[in-house]
Amino acid sequence: KIAIYGRPFSSGFEKNITALFVLLEKHGVEYFIHEPFYEFLLKKEKLTFKKAGAFKTHDDIIGNADIMFSIGGDGTFKVFTPG
């Protein structure tokens, strides 16, 4: 399971974020999206994709995610693992 945290990003990154979700769904990966980022993707970017779940705080994903992706507002991308 993957937790995805993100901040609003600049124009031109839509293809990359769409590719990420297409890849996750293609491989049957269960993922959770930080609720404000999910709302941004739906409203501003008008992206459509499946969503396994949402989280509002880190307490929501403790014990529920194996890895966390963090997508920065500047287009940076980081991966965090427990431990």
Tokens of 71: 């997508």
Is 74 known to be catalytic? yes
Tokens of 57: 């705080």
Given the residues 59, 60, 66, 74, the one annotated as active site: 74
CB 64 within 8 A of CB 57: no
- Nearest Cα neighbor of 60 from 82, 34, 24 is 34
Catalytic residues: 74
